[in-house]
Amino acid sequence: MKKLLYYLTLLLLFSYNASAQSARETLNQYIAQLQKSPDDNALREKIILLAQKNKPAPAITDEAREKYVMAITLRDDKEYELALSNINETLLITPWWGDAYKELGLTLGLVKKYDEAILAYQLYIKTLTDDEVVSHVKDEIAIMKAKKMKAEKEQNELNKIVRSEEEKRQVVNAKRDVITKIKNAINNRSYQQKNLGYNKNGNWSAGVNQYELFGGGTYYMFSFDFYVPIYWKFFDNHVEMWGNFSGKYSEQILRGESWGPKVSDMRWFQVNTITLQNGMQVWAYFDLQNAYLYSTLNGWTMRPVNDSEFDPKTRYNYVLYKPVD
């Protein structure tokens, strides 16, 4: 009977040692896998669970402890990136060490990497058995979530400012592009003025309708030249048309301001010849293909600026500015 008990005890001891050795081998295999895939948190959880089952618990190596102490020292000196590097190396050597996860979470929070800090604290909880400590760590996670929420709000507000500034730059660039298109179409050429009308049965009459303005209709389009050499000046967001009257003096005729990304967004103004400031806004249309500028003529039946007031059948007085052939 005594011999039987002796052999049973030996068998149990052998089985226990074999099981412990198998668990340690599995743990070492998991650690080797983790070192190849350090972002595999599911594997970290397996390691933590397996380490808790090991009796005795796996030892903290001298190398891991050294890097752990170095990480805390570097963090206290505000060398956060070096601190993170050392604590991460610690957790590749001893990935079951709860205190190391706690220090990792604290350091990540200091550099505002809140999502990573939360993951570190969650892994720390996996190593704990004391409910009071677990509750405290959950409070830390809640703090990280609140800080993340605040940081995201501040970043969103900053992004709005950046987008607003970028949109402003895009608008400015688009307006400049319109001026460039007009400048390229004009191509340093001099211009002349033609007043438009129609001739029916030998009788000339001023004014044309929308259809006739662009070459349609049955009436003969009539124009008389107003021989004033016209030239252009170009600026970032506007153009100016000047006339050289009798070769004695120059006078600004029209000013076109870029108000959007299209040539049709231009706003045209007759200019006060004394102050050279914008006077009355007038309807005008610049034809990029032909480099023609059509404008309503002040003083007679003027085409309305607003399309809602425009009647395409009404004959308005227009002037055509075109390059000198």
Outline where DSSP puts E strands in the chain. 191-200, 203-206, 220-234, 238-245, 249-257, 267-271, 278-282, 284-287, 292-296, 318-323
Burial class (CB in 10 A: 0-12, 13-18, 19+), 324: exposed
Which tokens is 120 given? 């570190």
Query: Are 82 and 204 in a shared domain?
Result: no
On average, the pLDDT of the chain sits at: 86
Residue 316 lies in a domain: yes
Long-range Cβ pairs for the range 37-41 (8 Å, 24+):
38/88, 38/92, 41/119, 41/123
pLDDT at 279: 75
Please state, in angstroms and rounded to a whole number, the distance separating the CA atoms of residues 137 and 281. 69
CATH code at position 11: 1.25.40.10
140-191: pLDDT as tens digits = 999 999 999 999 999 999 999 999 999 889 988 999 999 999 999 999 998 9
83 and 47 Cβ atoms separated by less than 8 Å: no
Residue where a domain stops, chosen among 96, 129, 162: 129
pLDDT at 125: 96
What SS3 state is found at 104? helix
Domain boundary among 95, 110, 129: 129
Q: Please, which residues bridge with residue 206 across strands?
A: 197
Report which residue type is found at 123.
L
Q: What is the pLDDT of residues 243-286, one digit of tens each?
A: 876 666 678 889 999 998 999 999 999 886 555 555 789 999 99
How many structural domains does the chain have? 2
Instruction: List all residues 6 or more positions away from 41 whose beta carbon is below 8 Å from its beta carbon.
Output: 119, 123
Domain residues for 80?
2-129
pLDDT-derived band of residue 10, with 50, 70 and 90 as boundaries?
Answer: very low
